[in-house]
């Protein structure tokens, strides 16, 4: 074999990789350094993902006033994202299981980043109200199509590269980027909206998304591939490692109650999360018109970050201490669904701004426990096919994004009652909790 001369810094990093991989001779898992780097990269990517998708809920009041949309039309715009988001969940998981999430994630990010950046210009292409509405709806749907690849790809990547005992905390860490991204839009986006108009958040966050994609592509993915290829070509984390995977046993999977329990539970939790995500700014604008936008767009999401991280730490701690994975997943999901349900009902009885903000913040922070419950469960029940299973689960979980959000807008238009929206959302959460507690499991089923 011919000698290869490598720079000292690359050589030293490769030596660390070899020592770490000696713990796992098949080179299956990330080293400690790699896991840290990927966790930071995926965290920032998820933050950009959510930051770009939540600009429209933040700006919808201003946009609808300028365009002349009513509540139903605004609900159509908000829900259009999930029409597209539903379409690519399974495809994203399937492709990632086959060719690698590190290939799929940056490719999709390039496309949804560009769409985010160009949304304001596309909205002004038409001169009449209805044509502008159709264009914005199409833009939101396309953004959803390309963002639909992200979470299934990330799930596939983490399930293959992180050990079971560290899976909850790692996945929660990268998923917490969703809250950070929402927080970024609520703070920076609110400032840009108030100071420069509703168009500026699209330009700034769209640009940041494209910069993140380029950094991950050229500084993280290429660096790791070069490091592995230099010393141990057979361990390179390239797409070749993912080819030739066994087919997903769909018939067997669809007969398992545990599989259906995560679909129902994820559907119900997402129903609450997406309604709050989409309609929270409108709720506070209507009920407390003099409240500062950056406060109610930031506070409910900033408390979710520690709750999500804590849930991941607690889940891994309980598993390490000997509690069954099944018990831990159900415990985390109980906090998520029961907590969200309780505070959504309670908010209907509050009349003050502080009380409403507190209830909303606690309800959303309870959603953070979902990350270490059902959201990580596909990696438990189907570790070899986690991307595909997560794709199916998240496809069902995206349906409330357009059905639930649209229905919420329709209910508000017809009844003018926020209590009606929150109470029916709480009831859906209770259904999801009962199904998952009865039929869910943390054991491998396929």
Instruction: State whether the Cα torsion 418-424-425-429 is positive or negative.
Output: positive
Instruction: Give the pLDDT of residue 244.
Output: 52
105 CB-near residues (< 8 Å, 6+ apart): 42, 45, 149, 150, 153, 154, 157, 216
Q: What is the largest CA-CA distance in the chain?
A: 76
pLDDT at 164: 76
Burial class (CB in 10 A: 0-12, 13-18, 19+), 127: exposed
Q: Which residue has the higher pLDDT, 20 or 316?
A: 316
pLDDT at 329: 96
Q: Say what the pLDDT of residue 366 is.
A: 94
Cα–Cα distance for residue pair 150/96, rounded to 1 Å? 10
Task: Give residue 339's pLDDT band: very low, low, confident or very high (50, 70, 90).
Answer: very high
pLDDT at site 239? 43
DSSP codes joined into one string, 21-66:
HTTSTT--SPPHHHHHHHHHHHHHHHHHHHHHHTHHHHHHHHHHHH
Q: Is the pTM of this model over 0.85?
A: no
Rounded to 10°, the helix 8-21/32-53 angle is 100
What are 72's two structure tokens?
């139903």
Q: What is the average pLDDT across 415-429? A: 91
> Which value, in Å, is the radius of gyration of the alpha carbons in the chain?
22
Q: What is the pLDDT of residue 2?
A: 47
Q: pLDDT grade, residue 142 (50/70/90)?
A: very high
Most confident of 123-127, 292-296, 307-311, 404-408: 307-311
Percentage with pLDDT > 90 across the chain: 48
User: What pLDDT was estimated at residue 413?
Assistant: 83
Q: What is the pLDDT of residue 233?
A: 41
* Spatial separation of the C-alpha atoms in residues 432 and 429, rounded to whole Å: 5
Residue 335 CA to chain centroid, in angstroms?
19
Average pLDDT of the chain, as a whole number: 85
What is the rounded average pLDDT of the residues 350-356?
91
CA distances to 158, 168, 405, 436 from 172, in Å = 11, 6, 25, 20
What's residue 130's pLDDT? Answer: 84
């Amino acid at each position: 074999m011919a000698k290869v001369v490598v720079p000292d810094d690359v050589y030293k990093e490769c030596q660390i990789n070899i020592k770490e991989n000696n713990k796992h001779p098949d080179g299956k898992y990330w080293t400690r350094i790699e896991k840290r780097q990927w966790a930071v990269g995926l965290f920032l990517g998820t933050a950009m993902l959510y930051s770009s998708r939540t600009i429209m809920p933040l700006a919808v009041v201003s946009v609808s006033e300028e365009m002349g949309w009513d509540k139903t039309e605004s609900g159509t715009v908000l829900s259009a994202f999930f029409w597209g988001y539903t379409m690519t969940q399974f495809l994203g998981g399937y492709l990632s299981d086959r060719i690698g999430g590190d290939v799929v994630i940056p490719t999709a990010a390039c496309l949804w980043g560009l769409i985010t950046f160009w949304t304001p210009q596309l909205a002004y292409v038409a001169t009449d109200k209805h044509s502008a509405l159709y264009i914005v709806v199409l833009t939101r749907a396309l953004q959803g199509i390309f963002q639909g690849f992200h979470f299934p790809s990330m799930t596939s990547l983490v399930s293959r590269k992180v050990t079971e005992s560290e899976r909850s905390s790692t996945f929660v860490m990268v998923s917490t980027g969703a809250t950070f991204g929402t927080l970024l839009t609520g703070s920076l986006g609110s400032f840009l909206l108030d100071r420069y108009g509703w168009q500026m958040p699209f330009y700034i966050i769209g640009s940041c998304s494209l910069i993140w994609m380029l950094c991950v592509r050229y500084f993280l993915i290429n660096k790791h591939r070069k490091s592995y290829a230099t010393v141990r070509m057979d361990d390179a984390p390239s797409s070749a490692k993912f080819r030739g995977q066994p087919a997903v046993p769909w018939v067997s999977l669809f007969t398992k109650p545990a599989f259906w329990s995560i679909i129902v539970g994820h559907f119900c939790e997402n129903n609450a999360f997406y309604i709050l995500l989409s309609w929270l700014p409108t709720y506070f604008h209507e009920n407390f018109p003099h409240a500062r936008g950056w406060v109610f767009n930031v506070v409910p999401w900033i408390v979710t970050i520690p709750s999500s991280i804590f849930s991941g730490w607690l889940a891994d701690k309980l598993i390490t201490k000997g509690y069954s994975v099944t018990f831990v997943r159900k415990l985390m999901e109980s906090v998520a669904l029961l907590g969200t349900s309780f505070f959504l009902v309670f908010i209907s009885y509050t009349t003050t701004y502080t009380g409403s903000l507190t209830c909303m913040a606690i309800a959303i922070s309870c959603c953070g426990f979902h990350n270490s419950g059902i959201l990580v469960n596909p990696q438990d029940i189907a570790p070899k096919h986690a991307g595909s299973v997560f794709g199916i689960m998240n496809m069902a979980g995206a349906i409330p994004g357009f059905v639930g959000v649209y229905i919420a807008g329709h209910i508000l238009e017809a009844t003018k009652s926020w209590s009606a929206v929150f109470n029916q959302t709480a009831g859906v959460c209770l259904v999801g909790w009962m199904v998952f507690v009865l039929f869910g499991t943390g054991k491998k089923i396929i």
